[in-house]
Amino acid sequence: MRKNIVAGNWKMNTTVSEGVALAKEVSEAVKAANPKCEVVICTPFTHLCPVAGVIDTAVLGLGAENCADHEKGAYTGEVSAAMVASTGATHVILGHSERRQYYGETSETLREKVALALANGLTPIFCIGEVLAERENGTFNEVVAKQVEEGLFNLSAEDFGKIVLAYEPVWAIGTGKTATAEQAEDMHAWIRSVIAGKYGKEVAENTSILYGGSCKPSNAAELFAKPDVDGGLIGGAALKCADFMGIVNAF
Q: Which residues are catalytic?
A: 96, 168
β partners of residue 39: 6
Among 4, 14, 87, 214, binds ligand PEP (CB under 6 A): 214
CB of 184: closest distance to ligand PEP in angstroms? 12
CB of 223: closest distance to ligand PEP in angstroms? 12
Query: What is the distance between the alpha carbons of residues 123 and 120, in angstroms, rounded to a whole number?
Result: 9
Among 4, 5, 9, 30, binds ligand PEP (CB under 6 A): 9
CB of 86: closest distance to ligand PEP in angstroms? 25
Residue 212 engages ligand PEP in binding (rule: CB under 6 A): yes
Among 215, 247, 248, 250, binds ligand PEP (CB under 6 A): 215
In terms of Cβ atoms closer than 10 Å to its own Cβ (0-12, 13-18, 19+), residue 246 is middle
Residue 170 CA to its chain's centroid (Å) = 14
- Which lies closer to ligand PEP via its Cβ, residue 106 or residue 175? 175
Residue 233 engages ligand PEP in binding (rule: CB under 6 A): yes
Q: Which secondary structure element, helix H or strand E, spans residue 146, and what is its range? A: helix 140-152
Query: What is the distance between the alpha carbons of residues 226 and 188, in angstroms, rounded to a whole number?
Result: 9
Among 224, 235, 241, 247, binds ligand PEP (CB under 6 A): 235
Residue 204 CA to its chain's centroid (Å) = 17
Residue 41 engages ligand PEP in binding (rule: CB under 6 A): no
Tally of CA atoms within 13 A in the half-sphere of 152 that contains its CB: 30
CB of 12: closest distance to ligand PEP in angstroms? 11
Size of the site for ligand PEP (CB under 6 A): 13
3-state SS record for 15-33: CHHHHHHHHHHHHHHHHHH
- Which lies closer to ligand PEP via its Cβ, residue 51 or residue 170? 170
Q: In degrees rounded to 5, what are phi and psi of residue 57?
A: -70, -10
Contact set for ligand PEP, span 153-192 (CB under 6 A)? 168, 173-174
Catalog residues that contact ligand PEP under the rule CB under 6 A.
Answer: 9, 168, 173-174, 212-215, 233-237
